[in-house]
């Protein structure tokens, strides 16, 4: 796995809707074509999200943020953690250290347009969607790689943007016979 997102404390139909809306919002990118949703065996509210097409780090951060703050959904408070392999990051960001980074939303976040990143050295950063990365002098969260074994999850659904699905299922009028 090059990247994945763990989401807990959410119902299946809600995370499916959130991911479908995410796919439609970012339909102009290949990254949302084939979002794979898995539910942890023995649970009803713990999910693993994988991507058929690995998003770049910027889009991955947007996706983690969107899952936490989906449009039109009030009183939504999932536990969301994204994990991204540093060898997949093209730019030379200060947080690029170790094999993985952890992406999360700060408990004190009031701006909604950023994510926090912790690397394996437990250095914390704010990645804002205006393009800046700022190192923090405090450790809001220590790096903890939540290991995943796909065998511990059941596949629920593969999600594609609605436009892609509709185009796939369109048939010319002469092909109905």
pLDDT in tens, 110-164: 888 999 999 999 999 999 998 899 999 999 999 999 989 999 999 999 999 997 5
Close Cβ partners of 153 (under 8 Å, ≥ 6 residues apart): 38, 39, 40, 41, 48
Q: Would you call 67 exposed, middle or buried from its count of C-beta atoms within 10 A (0-12, 13-18, 19+)?
A: buried
* Residue boundaries of the structural domains of the chain: 3-175
Residue 122 has a pLDDT of 97
Residue 63 has a pLDDT of 98
Strand (E) or helix (H) holding 147: none
């Amino acid at each position: 796995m090059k990247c994945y997102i763990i989401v807990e404390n959410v119902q299946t139909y809600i995370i499916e809707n959130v991911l479908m809306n995410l796919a439609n919002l970012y339909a102009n990118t290949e990254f949302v074509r084939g979002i794979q949703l898995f539910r942890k065996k023995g649970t009803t509210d713990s999910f693993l999200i994988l991507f058929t097409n690995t998003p770049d780090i910027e889009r991955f951060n947007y996706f983690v943020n969107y899952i936490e703050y989906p449009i039109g959904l009030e009183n939504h408070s999932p536990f969301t953690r994204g994990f991204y392999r540093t060898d997949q990051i093209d730019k030379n960001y200060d947080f690029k250290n170790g094999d993985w980074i952890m992406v999360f939303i700060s408990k004190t976040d009031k701006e909604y347009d950023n994510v926090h990143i912790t690397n394996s050295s437990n250095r914390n950063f704010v990645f804002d969607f205006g393009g800046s990365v700022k190192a923090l002098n405090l450790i809001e969260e220590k790096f903890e790689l939540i290991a995943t074994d796909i065998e511990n999850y059941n596949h629920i659904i593969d999600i594609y943007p609605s436009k892609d699905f509709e185009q796939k299922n369109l048939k010319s009028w002469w092909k109905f016979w």
